[in-house]
Chain A
Amino acid sequence: MGLRLALGGDRSARVRLALMAGGVAAGVALLLGVAGAAPAAVDRLATASSRNVTYTEQQAALTTGVRAETSVGFWRGEPLRVLNVETVGPPVTPPRGISSLPGPGEVLVSPALAAALDGPHSAELLPRLHGKLTGTIGDAGLVGPDELFAIAGVGPGQLEGDLAAGFPGGRGADLKYSTGQTAGGVTSVTAGISDELRAALLVAAVGLIVPLMVLVATATRLSAASRERRAAALRLVGATARQVSGLGAIEGAVVGALGAVGGVALFLVLRAPLASLVPVPGGLFAADIAPPLWAALLTVLGVPVLTTLAGLVAVRRAAVSPLDVRRQATPPTPSLRRLLPLAAGLLMLVGALANSRAVLSGRWYGTALLIGGALLCLAGIAVAGPALARAAGIMLARFGPGPASHLAGKRLVMDPAAASRTVTGMALVVVVVGWLLAFLPLLATTTPSGQGVLVSALRPATVVAGFRSTAEATQVMSKVEDVQGAQAPVVVREIQLLRDGATAPADYAPDAMPDPSQFPLGAVVVDCTQLSEVLRQPLIGCGDSTIYRLASSFQSGADPLPATYEVLDRNGLRSSGLQVSLPPDLPVLQVPDGLVQGIDGFQLYGEVLFTRLPGLPERPDAVLVGTDGDPATIEAVRAALGPLRTPFPPLTAEEATVIARSATDGYARVAMIGLALVVLVGGLSLTVTTADSLRERRHAHAALAAMGAPARVLRRSVLMQTATPLLITVTVAVGVSAAASWMYLRLGTSDGVPVPSLPWSGYGLIAASAVVASLLATASALPCVRSAAHPDALRME
């Protein structure tokens, strides 16, 4: 009989079943998507990070295996990576995606790179690959479908480098899993994954799952009142409480089963569009979005269990007190005790702040306060919902103008649980996304600094590149000078100055602590007039002098001591054979902070600047090349700078800014996508539940219409029933999110460092999105008011 009641009935009953199952299916599909996307993104981002291989002396000593080095660069704003490989000895097992490693002069490319090589700008790309195209790399060997990646075979001696990452021969060298230490700063120009982003993705996934579960539960509550009355009628004619409960459970199980099957089908259809939304450089393959088996089973089996329980709960009042249901007796009033979990959650976060040492050192009670407080805050919003809705209703009924607000307020007072169910999902999204946004400034302070600041100092489209070796630099400089549209390169050389009598760093005793006053001075050699030409503002103080004291916000401005100094190389390890004398009262050259913070591969850092230093080898450590902004010019400069065998690839400050912000941008994008998805699903759910609620209450509405209540009064009343609890609950949610975020930020900020300010505009955007979406969703159901108030309803109880 339970199946007959669940599956049978008239057209409206079947429509209701379809809507409920559809709502559950949407929730299941999104849950599977979130469960699959988060680990997929983490896995692919880790793959991208693992490509950062640099050549080492130990690699040079290999007799079997693979020597490898990653060259990283950009092409028209997109990262371009080339993994240069040299097989030593017998052939090794190739990495995923290819059948064999390329030999010298051979290049395998990703499909996206192959497409670019077939395009109109192939002339910019071909010189950078140094070989003949012999094949493409399969999906299994790529980070994402849009990745520009190549594996190039090189001959003996063509690789060089200075850190270790060898591949022992004879063991299938899986280049994907190679782990190489990278030179400091390489991660800032490659799309790696930070711990913060990994944590953010997982928090986003968990944070989105909770509202989705709320939405699934809402879907199962369609027509709850009429189903409850039906159950009461069955009880009154003799069914036992157990039988009635069983019927409710069967109905819930049917909805859950249909929803789970539909949800899996919907997930498979939506996988590809979802893959394009996940912010992974190079995109994400649709097949990657595969939730772990345990998560898939938990979702597909767990959701029907939840809907079955929801079905049981839906008829419990009828099973226990059928007469109360018949009489439409008032449900119990939600007490203020419902606010206790929320208060407890906030108190726990205060406790975490008070025990910050325990939290930061990972003590169990510190972690419990931090995580437990967060979870209680989330649960507290949901539990407090009915109390907040009732309070909203009391205020609306008492102070609202006109009969519409009186009707709406009284409705909220009588059944606040129904009103809060529809808005709780939105409120939870506001809390979670607010948390994620608040961490953006903290994330920004932990990412490698400077990349975003250099763009404020340099003229747009100025290419910056660093060099490792003299041979490399000499080779390319003349080519750069020949590029049309490019200015003469500004050459920067870095040196160190060792004061007469001081111990050279190369001679420091292994365990000795050198006197800081003995440390060499940092210095740069660059023509300040030429340098001014690539800056947004000319350098202040650049004149006829050949030696300057460098000054910026980062340097104390203490005068370098007038003395004689020996000129060492940039690392302070080798002498150039030159000596210089610094006079007293050096003129000050004020440099922009962005130049000092610089970019990996280039920093104008030091105490002294020489415009020229006769006798110093012409060996640039970095160059700045101004361009006319044409992408073709920028690519020509990059091509002229030679093969991508520099640790710090040629890129513009704008590109560096994109890299620096990629983690935070990806993080923010995850938050916004999550917000949009859940708001969309929540809005649809709200439309359906509003229309259903109108149908459930058609008798009362028909009587009001018959009495002469204008339709606009009824529509206004329906809108206020959503708007009022929504505004109050979202306001509380913003407050909770802000309070919790401030405490987390305070915990994560060192003493003496200002706590990043909260993103109030972001909170406003999130709250406004949730409110507007909810009101639009409710309004879309208002045309049903007229049909719901049809006089036919007056004939029926």
Chain B
Amino acid sequence: MTAPLLSATGLHLSFGETAALAGASVTVQPGEIVALLGPSGSGKSTLLHCLAGILRPDAGQVHFCGTRIDDQSDEQRSRLRASSFGFVFQFGSLVPELSAVENVALPLRLSGIKRKAAEERAHAWLERLDVGAVAGKRPGQMSGGQGQRVAVARALVGTPRVVFADEPTGALDSLNGDLVMEELVGAARAQGTSVVVVTHEARVAAYADREVVLRDGQLTADSVLT
């Protein structure tokens, strides 16, 4: 078995008196699509944020490519996210004042690539995900489905090792939700990117290679999907 790309061991995290994670552990292999399922308040998003280096656990460890990341500084974790991770959020979280192509190009610009080169790559991704027509539009001028596909393009444009998707279809109807998941999973597999997707919908989880179920901050099931 190859070494995991990403792993979390015995994570504990509390928000005040509320224990969000109570010893959760999970691994992600290179190129794997993993779905995190569970009811509301089970700790899915919190686990995702810890895996992505956005939150630091109170206890436990997170490793990426064999390097521990939970004890790194905020700046180190920011650099890691900019270079190796991509994100898709439930509500897109596109920057409202930037156009679609500028939003997609933003991760490249944050990593130092010049604007022209960044926007060329962004245009290519928008075409690939069939939203080239909205390249010059702002988020307020797009439909929900278009916005989420732009968000997927933004997550993948930097060829990340892992994409973290938090309820990416939560605000979409089933048709658009399926479209978004197909684009995300298809593009990720094409470039060998792992995906960790948080969802409470079995339909979305069906796109994954593996399902991990959380309840009360702990894993209760971890099964491979055939």
Contacts and interface: CB of A to CB of B under 8 A. Distances in A.
Nearest to A412: B97
B81 A329 contact: no
B95 A407 contact: yes
A12 interface: no
B111 to A, nearest CB: 8
A706 B163 CA distance: 12
A707 interface: yes
Q: Which of A413, A699, A703 has the most CB of B within 10 A?
A: A703
Task: Give 7 closest A-B pairs by Cβ, nearest first.
Answer: A708-B82, A703-B93, A708-B81, A414-B97, A328-B140, A410-B97, A403-B109
Contacts of B141: 327, 329-330
B83 interface: yes
Nearest to B83: A708
Nearest to A393: B97
A700 B96 contact: yes
B3 interface: no
Interface of B: 45, 49, 52, 54-55, 74-75, 78-83, 85-87, 89-91, 93-98, 102, 106-107, 109-111, 115, 138-141, 154, 166
Contact of B102 (A406, A703, A708): A406
Contact of A711 (B52, B74, B80, B82): B74
Interface stretch (A36-44, A479-487, A593-601, A789-797): A789-797
Contacts of B89: 703, 706, 794
Given A403-B110, A791-B55, A707 B98 contact: no
Contacts of A704: 95, 106
Given A329-B140, A707-B82, A708-B85, A700 B93 contact: yes
B147 to A, nearest CB: 10
B96 A708 contact: no
A707 B81 contact: yes
Contact of B139 (A328, A702, A710): A328
A711 B77 CA distance: 12
A797 B74 CA distance: 25
Nearest to A697: B96
Contacts of B75: 710
Chain A contact surface mostly: helix
A410 B102 contact: yes
Given A329-B141, A797-B91, A411 B110 contact: no
Given A403-B110, A406-B102, A415 B80 contact: no
Contacts of B91: 699, 796-797
A403 B106 contact: yes
A414 B78 contact: no
A711 B54 CA distance: 13
Interface in A410-460: 410-411, 413-415
Contacts of B97: 407, 410-411, 413-415
19 contacts: A327-B141, A330-B141, A411-B97, A414-B97, A700-B96, A703-B93, A703-B94, A704-B106, A707-B82, A708-B80, A709-B106, A710-B75, A711-B74, A791-B49, A791-B55, A794-B45, A794-B93, A795-B90, A796-B91
Given A700-B95, A707-B107, A710-B79, 11 more contacts: A406-B109, A410-B97, A700-B96, A703-B87, A708-B81, A708-B111, A709-B106, A710-B75, A711-B78, A791-B49, A794-B90
